Amino acid sequence: MEARITSKKELPCSAEIKKGLFLCLLISFSALQVRAEETPPPTYTNIPTSSRDILSGIESLAESLNFLSAIKSGKKPIDTIALQTALNGVISLSEKELENIEKQLRLLGNLKGDDETTREEYLDRISTLENRMQVIKTSANRDISVDEILAIAREVKEWRETAYAPRVRPMVDFIAVTQNTKAIITAHERLISITKDERKIRGFFAGSKAGPFLKLLKKAQGEIAQATDMNEEAKRLFALARAGDEGDGSIDTAIEGSNALVNAAYDDFSAMSKLVKK
């Protein structure tokens, strides 16, 4: 009987412990949640989807450089591993960049005439750059001294500045111009099909209600025309750059402007669609 009473007395106590444990868990869980809210994951909205896979490469390079910087600020002698890791980070990132460009060149689909020749030429260039990269990678991953690492790093720096970047940059421009041309063609086709349906749509609207629709149509026409002009300017600058002339404009500024106008035309298409659905 006594034993029973004792056990009965213990019951509220264990319930309290359980309650306490539950509260602790709840508090730590909500603390974790708050922390998660404080540090949102990075978003890369301006980076094209195709390039997002190389971001991990950039981030790990930044980490190894941070480590190098810590050693430098501690005035400690630089160790081989820290240098080798940072150098490998640069090599690996360059490799990823080339892979990404190659993928994008192939994703351009069917190209005609000069464009196809240009693409083939660029794919050959990529293969040459990749071969050179492999040679550097092999030599950087051997059991080598600090001086040897520094020599390879110098070689990579010179190679990136004199061979890699000047060869890669036109490829990037070519991809941008070609993608933008395709976007303009598609937007233009959409505009033509809407224009073909104009009479039908006018019939649908009663009297003055056709006004806003026609205004949007005219606006989209203007935007696509302007986007085409800007893209032609980008093409002209690209041709000049290919011929060795730097030109006085920026290809990416022209592409950016043209792309924004195509987006604006699509805003108008969506507004027209909403207008007729009302």
Partner 1 sequence: MNSLFRERQLESLKSIRPDPVFLRWSKKAILMDTTPERKRIARGIPLSAILSHAIRPLAAAGALTIAAFAFMAHAPEDISFIASLDPQDIAIERLKIASDDKSAEAKYFKSISPSISLALTDIIDPSTDYGSADHIKKGIALLGRN
C-alpha distance from residue 162 to each of 100, 155, 169 (Å):
20, 11, 12
- Closest distance between partner 1 and the C-beta of residue 16, in Å? 49
Length of the chain: 278
Cite the DSSP H helix spans in the chain. 2-38, 55-73, 80-106, 113-140, 146-159, 165-196, 198-204, 210-242, 251-277
From candidates 169, 209, 215, 218, binder to partner 1 by CB under 8 A:
169
User: Could you say whether residue 95 binds partner 1 (CB under 8 A)?
Assistant: no
Which of 89, 98, 220, 224 lies at the binding interface for partner 1 (CB under 8 A)? 89
CA angle 266, 226, 203 (to 5 degrees): 50
CB of 31 to partner 1, least distance (A): 27
Between 93 and 133, name the residue whose CB sits nearer to partner 1.
93
Q: Alpha-carbon dihedral of residues 237, 243, 244, 247, nearest 10 degrees?
A: -20
Identify residues 104-123 at the interface with partner 1 (CB under 8 A). Answer: 104
Q: Which of 113, 203 has the CB closer to partner 1? A: 203
Residues 215/250, Cβ–Cβ less than 8 Å: no
Of residues 28 through 57, those in contact with partner 1 by CB under 8 A are 42-51, 55
Q: How many residues at the interface with partner 1, by CB under 8 A?
A: 79
| CB nearer to partner 1: pick between 18 and 154 | 154
Judged by CB under 8 A, the residue of 19, 106, 142, 157 near partner 1 is: 157
Pairwise CA distance, residues 64 & 56, whole Å: 12
* Terminal C-alpha separation, the chain: 80
187 contacts partner 1 (rule: CB under 8 A): yes
- Using the minimum distance from each CB to partner 1, give the nearer residue, 118 or 180: 180
Q: Is 94 in the site for partner 1 (CB under 8 A)?
A: yes
Of the candidates 272, 241, 266, the residue with the CA atom closest to the CA atom of residue 183 = 266
Q: Which of residues 199-258 bind partner 1 (CB under 8 A)?
A: 200-201, 203-204, 251-253, 255-256, 258
| Residue 20 Cβ vs partner 1, minimum distance, rounded to whole Å | 43
Contact pick of 153, 220, 224, 230 for partner 1 (by CB under 8 A) = 153
Near partner 1 in 66-85, by CB under 8 A:
66, 68-69, 72-73, 78, 83
CA nearest neighbour of 41 among 27, 52, 25: 52
In terms of C-beta density within 10 A (0-12 exposed, 13-18 middle, 19 or more buried), how is residue 269 classed?
Answer: middle
- Contact with partner 1 (CB under 8 A) among 125, 144, 188, 266: 266
Stretch that binds partner 1, among 25-33, 60-68, 125-133, 241-249 (CB under 8 A): 60-68
What tokens were used for 61?
Answer: 């390079």
